[in-house]
Structure 1
């Protein structure tokens, strides 16, 4: 009798253990085990990007009731964003908030093509995660790398930084008789030439020295925030002609995301949507803030109306786009149709 009782007890305990193991087998599932992910971003601690990332992480933890914990690594602690994107693809690192890496898919460079959009409202329409035509394309291409695009995080519209006064700076049809640094990309080289400058392709790491030594008279390819933080002591003017739309992208390994239960996936998507909506408002305010800050450093911001910016955009779309559109493939034709061009 005692043996039968012991056998029954062992059987009950065994079944209980198996049931417990089965209930926790799905990471992030209903009542399942918690997951901890790594998120790399490329801005220093306490910047707007870092604060937004921390708020995103806090909201995800709250909305998933503690099941999805995300650890932030700021200022590219996990490595160069191109390499980290490859690690997100394999799942070695789960998430990143950064510029899109284009080593695997060069067509992603279309995101920073000159004058796809000229103002914040146009940017929201083309890049938003809900129905933005360009965002849909980026999402589809990233999925081929096993990466899910959660949200776009706008940074700024590009401007031109000048160390001396340009000839008729608001007129893109006049030669400026100035040499400016541009990124080593055909799109920016042709863009700089198309609006009247002599261009010198240089990496970002050489901007300060080339300006300081007079190798170039200005810089194209960044925004006023960058110029304020790195170059303001060397400049005289900012030409805010909205050269291109610069954004970072919040991405996650697709397999890791889909391993979560539906409730947690939906929670993360909702938090990401709020993250993106807030970022658009913040970015516009931030751009205005840096225009004011750089003026306090003695750099004049040359004010342009929307119509004056449009003159630059029209010229670039007419003269430069035909030269560079082959860099992006068929997507550029789709973008032109979307824009009615």
Structure 2
């Protein structure tokens, strides 16, 4: 019986190790990359993500294969940020909060797109805007790669029957209490409008309005008002005060494993579909506004000039309070862009 000498054995072991090193990345890359998504599968926002990932797979000849997991299947929306950073999951489309960095709260700034989704595309979805550049920089500091924003609807103010303020416009004391998220920017924004704010979890919102614990609430898009609250809500102020988009991010090591061409395809494709989804969202808002009106619910809407003037006042009152958090120069540059895009969007 022939025996293998130590030298030959070492060659065999080295060859096996080489095969292992070469094959393991191939095996890993064969598994679809997992992407966290908070909305249900039938949401047009989720469908936009799915359409984008299908196109990415096609354009990269299957080399970048991303599977979207909707409905929060992969965990909580805040936790998904850390999961991507650690590499437990590869991508996420989620809402950014100050839990990871106080500066991420800047997405909740009021009135950086008072003229609607066309202006929002210029301010939040354009690579030339200071806002996405700032978020990209912050996420990079956190060890993540930013892939840009993903659309979210404008928030509204809603009120129960008999709880409508005398008027929605103006900045005097409205003598009405509204539920707001536990975020200083929301409180400061609606206090500047003349409301008393009450912080509570969104899960308590509808019952609090029914029992009269609060007169109204902020933060609900028109779709939610119609689908979840049309039996409670009687008045809607579609004031375009806040519209914080979700954000797309990917694990840094996964990103580095892509070629330059693949990276460009991923960025460009997500951006293209985000703008397409933004257009759908604009149309959906108009449809739900009409449905609410048909249901006998007041939906207060305004001409462009009102939004320009009202938004300018709120920015002047609220934004300077956050110079120390977000940076005075940054906020002044962003305000300048809001003013410029307001002129070109009309």
The 5 A counterparts of 1:221-240 are 221-240=219-238
What is the CA-CA distance between 1:335 and the residue it aligns to?
2.3
CA distance in 2, matches of 1:270, 1:314: 33
Contact 2:92 2:250 in 1 (8 A): yes
Give the drift of 1:69: 2.0
- Residue of structure 1 in register with 2:258 after alignment: 260
Contact 2:121 2:275 in 1 (8 A): no
Q: What residue is the counterpart of 2:218 in the other structure? A: 220
Answer yes or no: is the 8 Å Cα contact 1:59–1:271 preserved in 2.
Answer: yes
Residues 136-181 of structure 1 deviation map (CA, whole Å, 9 limit, x = unaligned): 1101110112211213222222211111353442422333221111
- Larger deviation, residues 106-115 vs 142-151: 142-151
| 1:1-150 superposed matches below 5 A | 33-119=29-115, 120-150=117-147
Give 1:340 shift: 5.8
The answer to whether the 8 Å contact 2:177/2:214 transfers is yes
Could you say which residue in structure 1 is the equivalent of 2:280?
282
Contact 1:35/1:67, CA 8 A, preserved across alignment: no
Give, in angstroms, the shift of residue 84 of structure 1.
0.8
Once the two structures are overlaid, the 10-residue window that deviates more, 306-315 or 110-119, is 306-315
SS at match of 1:65: coil
Q: What corresponds to 1:335 in structure 2?
A: 334
Give 1:7's aligned residue: none
CA distance in 1: counterparts of 2:104 and 2:142, whole angstroms: 12
Pair 1:234–1:297, CA change in 2 (3 A): same
- Find the aligned partners of 1:233 and 1:194 in 2 and give their Cα distance: 29
Q: Which of 193, 199, 202 is equivalent to 1:195?
A: 193
Distance 2:275 2:165 in 1: 39
Q: Structure 2 length normalisation: TM-score? A: 0.85
How far 1:269 moved relative to its partner? 2.1
Alignment RMSD:
2.9
CA gap 1:185/1:34 in 2 versus in 1, 3 angstroms: same
Distance 1:326 1:159, change over 3 A: farther
Aligned in 2, Cα 1:149/1:129: closer, same or farther, shift over 3 Å? farther
Match of 1:299 among 297, 300, 306: 297
Alpha-carbon distance change, 27 to 277 in structure 1, aligned in 2, over 3 angstroms:
farther
Conserved? CA contact 1:27–1:259, under 8 Å: no
> Which region of structure 1 is more displaced relative to structure 2, 201-210 or 330-339?
330-339
Taking structure 1 as the reference length, the TM-score comes to: 0.86
1:156 is paired with a residue of what secondary structure? coil
The 2-side partners of 1:62 and 1:14 are apart by 39
Which range moved further: 324-333 or 48-57? 324-333
Structure 2 runs not aligned, ≥5 long? 1-11, 341-346
The Cα offsets for residues 73-112 of structure 1, whole Å up to 9 and x where unpaired, read as 1111111111111111111110111211321211111012
Unmatched tracts of structure 1, length 5 or more:
1-12
Asked if the contact 2:163/2:176 (under 8 Å) is kept, the reply is: no
Equivalent pairs counted in the alignment come to 329
The aligned residue for residue 10 of structure 1 is none
- Deviation string, structure 1 residues 208-237 (Cα, Å, up to 9, x no partner): 111011011111123222222322211111
The alpha-carbon distance between structure 1 residues 38 and 169, as it changes in their structure 2 partners (threshold 3 A), is same
Work out the CA distance in 2 between the residues paired with 1:213 and 1:327: 37
> Displacement of 1:325 after TM fit?
4.1
Question: SS state of the match for residue 160, structure 1?
Answer: strand
Shift of 1:68: 2.2
| SS of equivalent to 1:233 | coil
**SS of equivalent residue, structure 1 residue 157:** coil
